[in-house]
Amino acid sequence: MRRIGVALGVAFLVVFCLAPFLWTVLTSVKPGPEVFAMPPTYLPRALSAENYTGVLEQRPFARYLLNSLIVAAASTALALTAGALAAYGIARLRMRAAGTIEKGIFLFALFPPAILLAPLRGAVLTVGLMNSYVALILVHAALNVPFAVWMLAAFFRQMPKELEDAARVDGFSRLQILSRIVLPVSAPALAATAILVFIFSWNEFVIALAFMTRDEMRTLPVGISLLSGATAYEIPWGQICAAVVMTTLPVTAAVLAFQRWIISGLTAGAVKG
């Protein structure tokens, strides 16, 4: 009984989570006319790469990809540096007011980016940084600092104290302890945090939409969401699905490859939470 229940639950979960993505993959590999076949074909009658070559040749997909990579990589580096230092200070150093500082940082996680659009856009207009990487990188980094602190503080708290004590006896300075002992030991937690922050920045939509008004500065999600045909009746759904697959496949691969670290990192944070 119990086994059948679990099997049914697992089957439902897998189908529910994968179906929309699989349907997009299937559409993307169909040749032009079959994309619009009625009724739709559940197994493609023929395979074709034309949607992929089409979107790469006719649309500035490579440029969107480059923009997304620059913004996500730089904001991840910044958020991870700021987050790791703060988390270490909060979790491991006997700082007075550590609790207050931690709560203060988490306060910033309570605002969805879309609600913060007015102040953020106002600031960017004031300093004249529309259509620049710098503004988007700084905003993505700042928005992800609370999450990085949350994940890493939970990890640092679990670390055995003896490691640092031994290093202190050996005459290491605090920064040396952090760089030579703590960070190497924390590599899995740092990697999990970095992957998730990278994904959050890679996926972010509303700020990127509002900050980047020139087509050549758009990031992937914004660029893809604005893909359309010459008229409403010519929407290139095959190409759109190909673009969706190319954007989501790296994320899917990263989640599958690092699932153990990601899940243990997230659950460690959530239990402390």
Partner 1 sequence: MSYGYVALAAVLLICVIALPLAVALVGGATHYGEVFSDRELGKVAFNTAAFAFASVSLEMCLGLLFAIVLHQTFLLRGIVRAIALIPWALPTAVMAMSWKWIFNDSYGVANDLAIRLSLVGHGIAWLGRPGAAFAAIVLADVWKTTPFVTIILLAGLQSIPRDLYDAMSIDGAGPLQRFRLVTLPLLRPSIALALTFRLIQAIGIFDLVRVMTGGGPADSTKTVALYIYDVLISYGMPEYGAALTGVVALATFLVAATFGALARGRARA
Of residues 25 through 44, those in contact with partner 1 by CB under 8 A are 27, 35-40
- Is 224 a residue that touches partner 1 (CB under 8 A)? yes
Question: Is 49 among the residues that bind partner 1 (CB under 8 A)?
Answer: no
Between residue 137 and residue 196, which ones bind partner 1 under the rule CB under 8 A? 138-139, 141-143, 145-146, 149, 174
Angle between the 133-158 and 61-92 helix axes, to the nearest 10 degrees?
A: 40
Binding status of residue 78 toward partner 1 by CB under 8 A = yes
DSSP state of 159: S
To partner 1, the closest distance from the beta carbon of 92 in angstroms equals 9
Which parts of the chain fold into alpha helices (H)? 2-28, 32-35, 50-58, 61-92, 98-107, 117-127, 133-158, 161-169, 174-176, 183-185, 187-203, 206-211, 220-225, 237-257, 259-272
CB of 47 vs partner 1, minimal distance in Å: 18
Region near partner 1 per CB under 8 A, out of 47-55, 156-164, 165-173, 244-252: 244-252
Comparing C-alpha atoms, which of 28, 63, 67, 9 is closest to residue 245? 28
Residue range at the interface with partner 1 (CB under 8 A); choices 51-59, 78-86, 157-165, 183-191 = 78-86
Find the shortest distance in angstroms from Cβ 167 to partner 1.
16
